[in-house]
Structure 1
């Protein structure tokens, strides 16, 4: 497949060329549904949804939002809507009414594709609450007071509800659009057209719509898949959510650029992931560290054959070295790699490769992907720093977003005049270009003038035999500004006291880094993409420890 000019094609052309190269290779498999599409069948489904959207009146450049778990229709929409030039807007599966309204309005979405809901969320109820007019209108004729752009609502599944099309109805509409019409639209698309919009989690202010192009996504998926040595013989289990870059770039896009089989898991469940790997003889699996920890826990109690595993990616939040080693030893994924990046960089900036020795794969996040530049700068002066010196990580290359949708000031704050994306992450680089993440600019704890990086303390505490998982945060202190607090999850059957934790640290890490507070917890507040919300842990600490007065003290 080296003859394909990945940097000069659109997503529609990518699917065409991969299908020609691997027509009978399985593209998409859901063993629990009995669904198996070859690349030929997958392309046909992508064509159908593209033509169905055209029949609905969706035009090139229109925003089409999708609010669903990892169902087959998600993947078909991801690779089908770009064939007719619609911009796919991915909706976080944890969103509630307020967040959904903001996203649909801010993105100017004309179409919403959704499932009925999840165990904890009634999507249908929320949409009707937001657009009561939907109950009274014909499908495709919505006139909403709160969402003036929204016209079409498409429900995945067989249920027929007021104001909504079913997925099957839209797929059938494809028959009314000639292939030539779709081909004419496809021919008008350019690799640098925006084709995807993902909303950042909005840790500061409102979420921002990250505009990504065909080229951004294809080349990043290609580089990531190359680092895992993916081929049409590989089968990748994808339990990370599609609405996030991890799922739809490091997952599905890495597969499609290599003719690899996608084997998604609809909603993460550790046992379901292990069953899927065993049943489909998956050669790769993705996950955030929390997912791998849960899978390893299940494997301690039950037998699953994961011997087919070779590779995969652990990413999404800092990867504990001990967990990485266990995934290699217990799950036999001896070529598992780590990717570092963010949505604004499509997302990959650096990654380790299957050829890197294990020591580098567990202690660094690798080197830059092909055609991506990186530098470490002093956050105060902006000047580049030398090897082993901590600073802010900046990146430049094909992978950098076009900008935030309708937010020019935020875009200018993130990408400087020379095209460098300022990530807000801190790191160091060695002489060979291997990057270590040392924390977030905003996560850094400043205790009495000493800079403390939570990651360092977390890595140390992971070495304790009773510790399953740990998160370190700064909590307010009248005397020092901040103190260190550790939230620890214990391994089943283990016992540990606050005093024992402090004693374990004594003489091993600097006294000012030893946690003043230790709490033992069963889990952490996380986003739908598996990222731990440290700001919530800080809020919990203020309540738990009665630090409201210290929290009110303003700092510069």
Structure 2
């Protein structure tokens, strides 16, 4: 898609200049050609250098193209974290096709809905997930099926992709040169309030997110990034991970998140950067050897997905590690705002300033702009990182993305007098009790400081008198007990009375999605009156 010269950032003196290769398949090939010898990716005892990984990408591109995958078509990938995920991502985009990562926690019918909604031509799945797909395979729209790992499978139904790649010749045609607003990835949202929606993320969305991360987090060529968050999710894929590849750094990939294994890897690989959600950091800190673990190489923990409790921030700060909190969404290709290390201790709880080229404004329930410091409103985002829209859902796109480019996030936030942003809660999670707006995240941050509490979620429950009442759902640390009176006394020192929990419910563990976010809708459903 062309741009008028007077608006063309790559026109100099009125003469169009060659546009930079910002297509995902383009820039990865360029990076590999400029540092083929550098370690790119380590996984379960093996390390691929950039040249080796690029060779895998080129041969897979040949296999996919010969199988009928053409520009604009969709390739779906289902599996645990594995190097083949990235090989498939770069090969797909090199052909000008669209990559669709799938959530491995979904059931067969849920996966079938997404695969068919996306109209996927090709499906790659690791052997651990063949059974769930076999149950719905006959109804799928896919034309090609591949086994994405080297483990035993039914070769007639799931031919081994690794064998085909090994036998293929490298793709020699030039990489597709997409426009900035051509779709690179369709990433489906969690669908906690209905059917999942496919956020169309463009090559430009990803590129400008990389630029923002380079400026905000100083990603360096000698960084070693540990990735244990699931890469089908925007956080695992595009918070630091792709930017580290772009910069020529070294990604250490783990198949699953395991707190003991993750903690050991930090020392073994001299990890310098990590992205994690607060629950992952909590579980690592609960390991018996956490206090003795060698974290001396770790310079940056980027934390997102949920507010990081103050006790956890102080715990890692005590180890000399500043946790940088960030804020982003699938629909914004990840980063919207980030708190730089210099403010980590003085602006606890803030997600910092907006990233480069991204704008944020707050609106009230009538759509008016909220400008007063500390006044709450719904967060709206505009910038080159904001999605093109939802796949096949024009009405949902219209509701979320205005003609002026502002995306309504559904999150509530405010900014302080210094311009630092804070995220309070989801609009749908807000509790209205006795006419007062109560934000669960505020209560959770206080309750998390109680010495008996391992994890906590606050939800609203129907109440005949007040409309809703505040409920604390708590998982206790081993060997501890807790009653409602004690909890109210503890919280009452920092919270107004109308914010105090009126019910306490103890559970063994809180339900979470694959990235560690607490599934509050499940808590509400479980406690909904019959």
Normalised to the residue count of structure 2, the TM-score between the two structures is: 0.92
CA displacement 1:499-550 (0-9 Å, x = unmatched)? 21112223532111110001222211111122111111122233xxxx44xx
Deviations along 1:34-60, one digit per CA (max 9) or x if unpaired, are 211122222222212222211211111
2:147 is the counterpart of 1:154: yes
Counterpart of 1:513?
499
Query: Which of these residues, 313, 323, 346, is aligned with residue 359 of structure 1?
Result: 346
Q: CA offsets per residue over residues 223-250 of structure 1, 9 Å max, x none? A: 2243222211110101100000001111
Kept after mapping to 2: 8 A contact 1:385/1:391 = no
Q: Paired residue for 2:412, among 409, 416, 426? A: 426
Q: Number of matched residues? A: 512
**1:375 matched to which residue of 2?**
361
- Cα shift at 1:69: 0.9
Q: Which runs of structure 1 show a deviation greater than 6 angstroms over 4 or more consecutive aligned residues?
A: none
Alignment of 1:173-322 (within 5 A): 174-175=168-169, 179=172, 181=173, 183=174, 186-299=175-288, 303-322=292-311
Q: 2:49 aligns to what?
A: 38
**C-alpha root-mean-square deviation of aligned residues, in Å?**
1.9
Partner SS, residue 205 of structure 2: helix
- Any idea what SS the aligned residue of 1:419 has? coil
Question: Which residue in the other structure is 2:112 paired with?
Answer: 101
Structure 1 pair 524/484, CA: closer, same or farther in 2 (3 Å)? Answer: same
Q: Is the 8 A contact 2:511 2:522 kept in 1?
A: yes
Of 125, 143, 146, the residue aligned with 2:131 is 125
Cα distance per residue 1:327-376 (max 9 Å; x no partner) = 2323x433x3112011011021111123334222x320011110111101
- Please identify, of 444-453 and 302-311, the stretch whose mean Cα deviation from structure 2 is larger: 302-311
Tell me if the contact between 1:55 and 1:173 (Cα under 8 Å) persists in the aligned partners: no
Alignment of 1:349 with 2:336, yes or no, is yes
Distance, in Å, in 2 between the alignment partners of 1:466 and 1:225 is 40
The alignment's TM-score, normalised by the length of structure 1, stands at 0.88
Structure 1 segments unaligned to the other structure (5+ residues): 118-122, 132-143, 549-556
Matched-pair contact (CA < 8 Å) for 2:93–2:176: no
- The 2-side partners of 1:236 and 1:279 are apart by 12
Separation in 1 of the partners of 2:407 and 2:120?
27
What's the counterpart of residue 136 of structure 1?
none
Asked if the contact 1:218/1:257 (under 8 Å) is kept, the reply is no
Tell me by how many angstroms 1:257 deviates. Answer: 2.3
Pairing of 1:454-469 with structure 2 (within 5 A)? 454-469=440-455
2:166 aligned with 1:166? no
1:552 corresponds to: none
Q: Aligned pair in 2 of structure 1 residues 274, 255: CA closer, same or farther (>3 Å)? A: same
SS, match of residue 286 in structure 1: strand
The 1:508/1:429 distance shift into structure 2, 3 A limit, reads closer
Deviation at 1:14, TM superposition (A): 1.3
- Tell me, in whole angstroms, the C-alpha distance in 2 between the residues paired with 1:436 and 1:7: 35
**Residue range with higher mean Cα deviation, 336-345 or 419-428:** 336-345
Cross-structure match for 1:14 = 27
- Distance change (3 Å), C-alpha of 1:74 and 1:155: closer
Unaligned stretches of 5+ in structure 2?
Answer: 1-17
